[in-house]
Amino acid sequence: MPTDVMTISNLPPPDELADVRAKIKALEQREAELKQVLFSDPGARTGVAYLAEIKTVSQQRTDLKEMRACYPDIVEQFVFPVDVTRVELRGISEDGEITNLRRKTS
């Protein structure tokens, strides 16, 4: 087991979740940077173990906002509520106050 995983597992679950989310965000940013390189530099598409191929795929999407504006009664027939359970993290300041995570500074 990697060392950082063992260290993190000693954290309380909310702290570990915040750490995991921060790492995911950093990895997604790095992914976006690497994609830009691959799109703009064909010479960078060949690695040691992998080859990156750029493919364009056509998709169809529905403009729900426009559909609601033009056909509100029809759209309403196909809209239904869904309960979603999620975990929202809040920060805890050094003096124990609950804070908005976006305002929390490390």
Cα–Cα dist 31/34, whole Å = 5
Phi, psi of 11 (to 5 degrees): -80, 150
Cross-strand partners of 92: 98
Structural domain range at position 27: 3-103
> Over pLDDT 90: what percentage of the chain?
74
Residue 13 has pLDDT above 70, yes or no: yes
pLDDT of residue 1: 43
**Based on the structure, what is the number of domains in the chain?**
1
- Using one digit for the tens of pLDDT, what is the confidence trace for 30-73? 999 999 999 999 999 999 999 999 999 999 999 999 999 999 99
What is the C-alpha separation between 62 and 60, in angstroms, rounded? Answer: 7
What is the residue-averaged pLDDT of the chain?
89
Q: What is the mean pLDDT of residues 75-97?
A: 92
Residue with tokens 């305002």: 103
Residue type, 44: A
